[in-house]
A and B are shown apart, each in its own frame.
Chain A
Amino acid sequence: MQLLTISGSPHIHSTQNVKSIMYGVVIALIPAMLVSLYFFGLDAARVFLVSILACLFFEWFIQKYLIRGPVTINDGSALVTGVLLAFNVPANLPAWILIIGALAAIGIAKMSFGGLGKNPFNPTLVGRVFLLISFPVQMTTWPKPNALFDAPLTDALSGPTTLGFFKEGLMKGESVQEIMQNPGFPGYVNDFLGAQGGSLGEISVLALLLGAAYLFIRKIITWHIPVSYLGSAVIFSGILWLVDPTRFIDPLMHLLAGGMILGVFYMATDMVSSPITAKGQLIFGTGAGLLTILIRVWGVYPEGVSFAILIMNAFTPLINMAFKPKRFGERMAHG
């Protein structure tokens, strides 16, 4: 007879593990990937390929030759970072810049802290912000969306993102309404479907919501961060909008434009860099929503999602210490 295994209870384990979670996220990202391929064609495909391969390569290289530990590139986490980094850059970004971004994301943000689970900041966002600060021109030159079956890709047209339109217009003294009359302005429907300038993955709110629904169904993410994030962003931007609708963008446009939906569902919910408890997650989301609108309205950059999430990442350890779960028996409920 074979030897019996002796181990402490429990003796069974749920089917969800790190790998299934990571590949679940990849599956959720597929609709938005398809939309970006539809609007940006081969450029998008090139960015995906370079980003994914670069992230996997750096993870493998660092684990094998610098750390000399086990190689875990098949756990799916580097793949998620690769796809998300591609989602966060313009489709015409030169490959070499993208590779530097991948090195920043995997090398600096993830491996130097000890790999998956140890990183205080979201690796993708570190990569994106690293590039945004280092290569501001290339990172903000947005190719216009060009649907696959529309006009052929003749010359690389570029134009501002939805939030870019607002930032420029408002600085020139135009009102929100005037800006929205602009001939190139995408408008609500296009912003929802994806026909807007912007980073690869952020353009289609619809596709991102589809993926998010999948994440909810698979129980990979919970409602706490998305609801508090969106809620605080809507309330804060709504107050501003009510104060002066000519100077402040309405809340719906805030949700549809830029990286709000991408950030809320796919990066703020990153388990490693967000708080552990439900209460903490609500604080985290509320803070990120507030900061996003603050930066969008008063910051130098038109977009504030990345910075907002990174700032809240920095608060995560404090939030974890301050907000404990409700202990059993704390309140003796009679009834």
Chain B
Amino acid sequence: MNLIRNRNIVRTFKIGGVHPPEMKLSADRKIELLSLPAKVIIPLSQSLGAPSKAAIQKGDLVRVGQLIAKGEAFISSNVHSSVSGKVTRIDEVIDSSGYRRPAVLIDVEGDEWEESIDRSPDLKNEITASSEEIIRKIYEMGVVGLGGATFPSHVKLRLPEGKKAEYLLINGVECEPYLTADHRVMLEQGREVLTGIRLLMRALKVEKAFIGIENNKPDAIEHLRQLCSSFPEIEVIPLKVKYPQGGEKQLIRAVTGRETPSGKLPLEVGCVVQNVGTALAVYEAVQKNKPLIDRVVTVTGKNLERPSNLRVRIGTPVSNLIEYAGGLPEDTGKVISGGPMMGKALNSLDVPIVKGTSGVLLMPGAESKRMAPLNCIRCGRCVTVCPMGLEPILLAQLSENFLFEKAEKERIMDCIECGSCQYTCPAGRPLLDYIRLGKNKTGIMIRNRGKK
């Protein structure tokens, strides 16, 4: 174990990065099953790309695992019912983005599953499906990236003509403070994850897979290493504890030494990255015929009575998780969907857990407010910590002054919005707020340019 902790052999990305307090309060809490909610709200679009089309109607009776929205565009994904019961409405509901989005509302009655789903607890490690069958299954079962970006997994696996993947990278980094869901999945469902990885390897036709895990999870590293001993093609890579080690480009850099060029996909350097949670979902989809209807979510916070890791049905309101973990603490200033570095602040506790929800974090009132911004003192810390080698203060100033042509030249679109700059800024400048605005406007400018 000391060897693993040894800094010299631990890989990491090279440019920038920060080390916020890890705060993994729920690291030792076993995954528990959250009881069924009375109602669920299942947003129709739960992945990047085009919205999915509703496949049911108001008043329909649905079963667990039944398709309720179909992803027909190239980048879109299927959505299934996570409960059995009656569809009461198909309506616009506020989701974690704070916007109203179409969603299916279901009153839960019983727990009737589709019969095609294998609900037995037995492991099924034998792989019989072909590459095409695996990818089709992943598409059918609505599997998307569970790391937070919710990119439809089947799209990542369908390689464009002439492109070839060399490595599959499994992201078990979990570099966000507080979050422990992936950690627990690796510890408690390592075998399933491993089979998921082998399925993904077959789908991609790659010979080699790496599992990147931050060094603060030595138990997970050890456990997966043991499981991998019979699969030499899968290698566990301990990584230095540094945020954003789990950023896709950072992870590839850390594990393989390759740098994905600006504006390109990881495939450019022969890599495909999937999260450990996704690998588990792939196992369930292909081996068990189970659609993505639940996921592991960390519910945590300094004032929370029982920070926990819960297996939650998609569509469960956030308030149910908080209730389970001991109820909303008196001193709560902010509720975040995701981690503290990249998560979204929620404006309501009725917001549903979706496929992309990795955590629910409650912040005390005192920590919820930002400091009043001061003048930039040009210390350059934002530049030092930027993992993309950008100048956040310059990009923020250009965005503030609507100089998007210049911002594009300074590579604003490379920003991964990790928040390291704003976390570090001693003057409390809202750097990422401005850069997000700039990225949005610059993106529009670039797209319009293509149209002329």
Contact = CB atoms under 8 A, between A and B. Distances in A.
B384 A278 contact: yes
A11 B346 CA distance: 12
A56 to B, nearest CB: 18
A116 B379 CA distance: 12
Given A9-B419, A17-B371, A276 B391 contact: yes
B34 interface: no
A329 B259 contact: yes
B10 interface: no
A14 B423 contact: yes
Contacts of B430: 8
Interface stretch (B117-125, B280-288, B335-343): B335-343
Interface stretch (A57-65, A81-89, A319-327): A319-327
Contacts of B411: 327
Contacts of B269: 332, 334
Given A12-B340, A14-B424, A332-B259, A4 B334 contact: yes
B387 interface: yes
B376 A11 contact: no
A71 to B, nearest CB: 13
Contacts of B20: 12, 14
A328 B391 contact: no
Contacts of B340: 9-12
Of A7, A116, A222, chain B has the most CB atoms within 10 Å of the CB of: A7
Nearest to B13: A328
A13 B421 CA distance: 10
B261 A11 contact: no
Contacts of A94: none
**Which bucket holds chain B's interface residue count?**
35 or more
A333 interface: yes
Nearest to A278: B384
A115 interface: yes
B98 interface: yes
Interface stretch (B48-56, B72-80, B362-370, B442-450): B362-370
Interface string A301-335: 00000000000000000000000111111111111
Contacts of A11: 334, 336, 340-341, 343, 345, 361, 363, 367-368
A1 B349 CA distance: 12
Contacts of B424: 14, 16
Contacts of B249: 328-329
A12 B261 contact: no
A27 interface: no
Interface residues of A, number: 47
Nearest to B331: A2
A10 B341 contact: yes
A216 to B, nearest CB: 15
A18 interface: yes
Nearest to A17: B426
A158 interface: no
Interface of B: 15, 18, 20-21, 98, 177, 249, 253, 257-262, 264, 269, 328, 332-336, 338, 340-348, 361, 363, 365, 367-371, 374-380, 383-384, 386-391, 393, 411, 414, 417, 419-420, 422-424, 426-428, 430, 432-433, 436
Given A275-B380, A325-B391, A328-B388, 19 more contacts: A6-B346, A9-B345, A9-B417, A10-B422, A11-B340, A11-B345, A12-B340, A12-B423, A17-B428, A20-B426, A114-B375, A115-B375, A117-B376, A273-B378, A274-B378, A327-B390, A328-B259, A329-B259, A333-B258
16 contacts: A1-B328, A6-B98, A8-B436, A10-B342, A11-B345, A11-B363, A11-B368, A13-B370, A272-B377, A325-B15, A327-B414, A328-B253, A328-B388, A329-B260, A329-B262, A334-B258
